[in-house]
Amino acid sequence: MKERDLREQETGDKWEVQLRKGCLALAILAALWDRRRYGLEILRRLESDSNLIVSEGTIYPLLSRLKAQGLVHSEWVESDAGHPRKYYALTPAGKRRAIEMTGIWARFSSSMSQLLAPLVKENR
Query: Could you tell me which CATH class the domain 3-123 is placed in?
Result: mainly alpha
Classify 16 as helix, strand or coil: helix
Higher pLDDT, 13 or 71: 71
Residue 10's pLDDT is 65
Distance CA 62, CA 42 (A): 12
First to last CA, the chain: 25
Q: What is the pLDDT of residue 8?
A: 60
* Angle, helices 39-50/3-31, rounded to nearest 10 degrees: 120
Task: Report percent pLDDT > 90 for the chain.
Answer: 68
pTM: 0.83
Overall average pLDDT of the 46-54 stretch: 90
Average pLDDT over residues 54-74: 95
3-state secondary structure of 80: coil
Residue 11 has pLDDT above 80, yes or no: no
